[in-house]
Amino acid sequence: MSRKKETIIFIVIILVLGFWRFGGGQQIYFSPEKVMYACEKGLHYGPSEKILLKKQIGNRAIVIGKLDDGLSVVHSKRSLLGMWKLGEGSVTGYWKITDNSEAAYAPKFSLIYGAVKNKDIKTIETAAAKVKDGKLEILDKVKCDVDDDGFFYADTGDFYSEGENIFFRIAYIYGFDENGALIYSYEY
């Protein structure tokens, strides 16, 4: 077989297998953002109006998108050849913000994030906590501004650890108006 014919056959193989393997058919994507959009489509919500935050730690990434009434939160992990696929464990996906303000703690990403429904809240004070054997331990307190999209986030220290009786959550959330007055508080 001539080299030209062989080249054509190779290119056809590359196009077919490449598209099948990396074009979404095998659920492997070019970036964490693409994983998020593909996840939204699969879960039948969104698409996000825009990406509010992307944070990458090592081979893992979390992407947070803006929805009409909440957030889209999808984590992913690096796959073959620098591609990305959905991360392991449960996926937050569509997070509808129903209260004045809600926050979440993602220990694997050393990140606290959330959104406000009450537009008067301009600053958030919240804390990451660990619950071990039923005892709550505050790990990190953070204060962050709410942006124009009603979104806020703050990096925390690295407190992630695994254990049967350990889980992580937000301890409390306080919302302040532009004058610094407390207008919302919730302790979980």
Partner 1 sequence: MPLPEKTLWEEYLNKVISHVKFKYDRKEIKWEIEEHMEDMYNDFISEGMNGKEAEKAVIACMGDADEIGKKLNEAHNSILGNVWRISRIIAIILILLSILPVFVTCLTVIFSIFSSYSYSYDKSQIISRIEVNQTEKIDDMYLKLEEAILYNNGCVELHYKTWYQPFSSSVRWSFDINSNYITDDLGTEYIGSSGSSSAGIISKHSTVIEGFPKEAAMLIIDYNYCGRKMYFEVPLREGGNV
Query: Least CB distance from residue 83 to partner 1, whole Å?
Result: 11
Residues in CB range of 1: below 8 A, 6 or more apart: none
Measured from the CB atom, is 10 or 167 closer to partner 1?
10
Query: Least CB distance from residue 29 to partner 1, whole Å?
Result: 8
Sign of CA dihedral 144, 147, 149, 154: negative
Query: Least CB distance from residue 18 to partner 1, whole Å?
Result: 6
Query: Least CB distance from residue 60 to partner 1, whole Å?
Result: 16
Please check whether residue 72 is in contact with residue 123, taking contact to mean a CB–CB distance below 8 angstroms.
no
User: Which of 64, 73, 86, 111: binder of partner 1 (CB under 8 A)?
Assistant: 86
Q: Which of residues 25-84 bind partner 1 (CB under 8 A)?
A: 25-27, 29, 34-35, 38-39, 41-46, 80
User: Which of 1, 7, 56, 89: binder of partner 1 (CB under 8 A)?
Assistant: 7
Strand-pair partners of 126: 142, 173
Please check whether residue 168 is in contact with residue 130, taking contact to mean a CB–CB distance below 8 angstroms.
yes
- 21 lies in the binding site for partner 1 (CB under 8 A): yes
Give the three-state DSSP class for 80. helix
Give the three-state DSSP class for 97. coil
Query: Least CB distance from residue 76 to partner 1, whole Å?
Result: 10
Distance CA 60, CA 136 (A): 27
Per rule CB under 8 A, count of chain residues that contact partner 1: 32
Given the DSSP bridges, would you call strands 123-132 and 166-176 parallel, antiparallel or unpaired? Answer: antiparallel
User: Which of 6, 49, 99, 158: binder of partner 1 (CB under 8 A)?
Assistant: 6
Please check whether residue 129 is in contact with residue 170, taking contact to mean a CB–CB distance below 8 angstroms.
yes
Binding site for partner 1 (CB under 8 A): 3-4, 6-7, 10-11, 13-14, 17-21, 23-27, 29, 34-35, 38-39, 41-46, 80, 86, 94
